[in-house]
Amino acid sequence: MVFASLEFLIFFLPAFVLIYSLSPAGWRNPVLLIGSWFFYGWLSPMFLLLHIVLTAIAWLGGLWIDRLPEQRRTRVRVLAALILLNVLVLCWYKYANMVAGQISDLLMGMGAMPLEWQHIALPAGLSFIVLQAISYMVDVHRHVVPVERSFVAYATYLSMFGHSIAGPIIRYNWVREELAQRRVTWTNFALGARRFMIGMSMKVLVADSLAPLADTAFALDQPSFVDAWIGCLAYSMQLFFDFAGYSAMAIGIGLMLGFHFPENFNRPYLARSIQDFWRRWHLSLSSWIRDYLYIPMGGNRNGEWITYRNLFLTMAIAGLWHGGDSWNFLLWGGLHGLALCAARAWDQAGLRPMPSLPAHALTLLFVALAWTLFRAPDLASALSMYAGQFGLHSFGLGDALAVTLRPAHGVAAMLGVVCVILPIWQTRAEARWSNDRWFLTLGATWPVFGFLLSFALIASRETVPFLYFQF
């Protein structure tokens, strides 16, 4: 059951919201917790069991850390052991299949029988749940937040179905007060529903419509120049609208339930540098790796070379967090780490900033080329796509992509470009027409129209999962 599915839209969400809104304030955490566990159990009963176990470990770990004296090294050792346990669980589910496959290939190369191995499925949302559990225990250790003594309240925080599957990565401190007391109002419900409908339109109308182009292009053995760039650009738009659409839906659901989650994207494809891109893309992950990886490693406090090392390692670890099927994600993170190092070296050398237009174009070019490595199933496929992008194969549109192309893909691409560029004029338009009836009517009706069209598309085809479910 995913957000963009009939069972969620017709059955689960309406029934849950009705029960939740009718519940007394003191019962809303238990109702949200039970509803979230039902949501996870629908996805996989085994994942629900794992989720409850990890929740209990993090909750008990926070209580344990809080009871230990501040001065003793035992406190740090307990925290390190709990973090290591969470990381090992995540690594098992992400990398066991790949390591087993490489061992099997090695055995076959030596003339032995291949390793007998049953594929391990990655539980949806495990990566995000682990990061939230780690941030909570670290914040308890740092006295950023008081320890949560109610298991129900903590489990509700870690289990909220709206955001735990694919983000944003919510820190306990951001929702601590609303876990204790929140109001469910018609205004927040209406605003949350509008945000949910906008996210649904981003996912279904743009991301899902561009998915066939990306899938076809990245499946080609020797893509042409046109094939490779159509696939790369289609995937760049698909990934943004898929992930930003999920984040908008999660923020909308949170608002309907009385929670105010932070934004997860801030117009990333308008960035003018790689640093600016990471200040705009997946904000909850960017701030997490800054506060719980980069700064604890030393940040920029111990000289330039240590700073460059920390930048590179932080982004490489972020790549590993995404990975599982291949080492491409590690290489993707390393590329972004090198780009951040190069940008810092440029600034430290006192060189003049690039003009806005070429800076924007160069940033988008680098991001798109890096997305090729992110999307390709393995390194060989990525290298083949790069060869096509640099014109080392043929030039014209290939037969496979020509058959796949439809007018709807062009409409989706244009809609995506408009949605990326539209914020440039948004503030100016609001200042000029914010009091006009037609402007207010348009702002209220277009999300409903987009949602109804999205619903019709969902009803007419199989459910398309969110891309970040695999991470």
The set of catalytic residues is: 322
Q: Which token pair is 177?
A: 């007060």
Phi, psi of 294 (to 5 degrees): -65, -50
- For the stretch 184-199, what's the b/e string if a residue is b when 16 or more beta carbons lie within 10 angstroms of its beta carbon? beeebbeebbbbbbbb
Phi, psi of 317 (to 5 degrees): -65, -40
Contact 210, 459 (CB under 8 A): no
Judged by DSSP in three states, 351 sits in: coil
Q: Treating both helix axes as pointing N-terminal to C-terminal, what angle do 45-67 and 151-159 enclose, rounded to 10 degrees?
A: 130
Contacts of residue 46, Cβ cutoff 8 Å, sequence gap at least 6: 123
Phi, psi of 210 (to 5 degrees): -85, -15
Helix (H) or strand (E) holding 363: helix 356-375
Cis peptide before 168 (omega within 30 of 0): yes
Of 36, 51, 37, 58, the closest CA to residue 136 belongs to 58
How many other C-beta atoms can be found within 10 angstroms of the C-beta atom of residue 287?
Answer: 16
Q: Which token pair is 62?
A: 């926070």
User: Which amino acid, one-letter code, is at 55?
Assistant: T
Of 245, 221, 276, the closest CA to residue 466 belongs to 245
Phi, psi of 300 (to 5 degrees): -110, 30
* 151 HSE (CA, 13 A, CB side): 9
Q: Which token pair is 346?
A: 């440029």
Tell me how far apart the alpha carbons of residues 262 and 75 are, in angstroms, rounded to a whole number.
31
